[in-house]
Amino acid sequence: MKVLRFLLMVALTALLAVGCAKKPAPTAALPMEDAPVVTEMPSEDVRGIRDGELDQQAVEDMTPPTVVEVAGLERIYFDFDQYTLSAEARATLAANADYLKANPGSKVRIEGHCDERGSDEYNLALGERRALAAKNYLNSLGVAASRLSFISFGEEVPLDPRRSSEAWAANRRAEFKEIQ
């Protein structure tokens, strides 16, 4: 029995010794004179952007659009934890649709908002559903979808920062901003 134990210990020690990692031999660095040398300049077809040469359209595409509140577009309000449109909200959206039909060149961003109750993730999703409900209703009233975009701010942009039922009711809304 002692011999078996002894052989087992020797075998384990041998496995550990063989299994240990060895450092790889360092490779010699290439001498600098072996590096390739560029002897000719690139053609005129290949060039970078120099100062003042940036395409103006590319700059405009990178600039975020300006959004402004418009007197003809009224905000709508939602009940707690809801994104369904009330009769009052539908009437307001009908008036907003009339304004948009009378101003065919205007594009609108619908911003969904929530009160502070609930997690950030939940409120962002709820704000998105509110904005999307308003967008879909405006589509059904004849406003082209290409003129409407939407975004959710969740609870991040309160209309009323107080912690009261009146403030929470004011913060559960969708706002309409014209994109310029």
Query: b/e map of 43-80 (b: 16 or more CB within 10 Å)?
Result: eeeeeeeeeeeeeeeeeeeeeeeebeebeebebbbbee
Chain centre distance of CA 54 = 26
Q: What is the model's pLDDT at position 48?
A: 56
pLDDT band of 7, cuts 50, 70, 90: confident
For 44-71, what is the mean pLDDT? 59
Sequence-ordered alpha helix ranges (H) in the chain: 2-19, 56-62, 87-102, 120-140, 165-171
Cα–Cα distance measured from residue 150 to residue 177, given in angstroms and rounded to the nearest whole number: 10
Interval 102-143: pLDDT, tens? 999 899 999 999 999 999 999 999 999 999 999 999 999 999
Reply yes or no on whether the pLDDT at 95 is more than 80: yes
State pTM to two decimals.
0.62
The residue among 76 and 58 whose pLDDT is bigger is 76
Q: Which two tokens stand for residue 62?
A: 């990178």
Sketch out the chain's domains with CATH numbers.
63-179 (3.30.1330.60)
The residue among 56 and 77 whose pLDDT is bigger is 77
Q: Is 43 helix (H, G, I), strand (E, B) or coil?
A: coil
Q: What is the model's pLDDT at position 20?
A: 61
Run of H or E residues at 76: strand 76-77
